[in-house]
Structure 1
Amino acid sequence: MFFFFVGGVEQGAGRVLKEAAGRCLRCGGAADLVETDKVLKLFFVPVKRWPGKDPAYLCRECGLLAPGSLGGGEPGTGPPLLLRDARCGACNRAVADPQFRFCPFCGSAL
């Protein structure tokens, strides 16, 4: 006799602590500071839910749930942007996407 278990624990978003507290790492949209919940799922069905330890940022646009520690220091008190401010070293212009390897304005390596 074989028995298969399909389940696991995942992190989910709870209530909003502060609206538009930061920006998303992935898309740059507004991110809310939310409480986190741990959810036990059995065959993809939520069975048990309990509160998480640390708050996190939840993007309104793409739904990315990023740890609150990425905001710098204590969540909600650090810098308001999660997205790093990438600037070109040659022309000092802001680069829109931090994943760029070359500056779109002058072409120098970032």
Structure 2
Amino acid sequence: MKESIRIASTPAKVFIEQNEKKNTYFNENRIFLHVPEGATPKEGLSAGVTIVTALVSLATGRPILADLAMTGELSLRGKVLPVGGIKEKVIAAKRAGVTTVILPKDNRKTLMTYHS
């Protein structure tokens, strides 16, 4: 999880620098993310896209939809990589009342096999 947080902070900062040139949020604030393990262990790799989204939301003040879920690992260059457990993640999202799930493009084949 620590690695995902470190990796995710770079594309979030780059996005803000490129799209909101006057936004100095990351220069003026230190970010601390606390993700307790609780009853569900978290490896963190598949949280990269979600962490970037949360950081951009924080920096811009734009909220994320409450019924939205996403998953995807980020490479060091900010590329979205496929993740495992898609079926389980989509089922859990649906049970939680999520209406929209954003998945890595390379996981599309995996998802389609469950609908066949």
TM range, normalised to the smaller chain? under 0.3
* Length-normalised TM-score, structure 2: 0.25
* Length-normalised TM-score, structure 1: 0.26
Identify, as 1 or 2, the structure richer in helix: 2
Larger of the two Rg values belongs to structure: 1
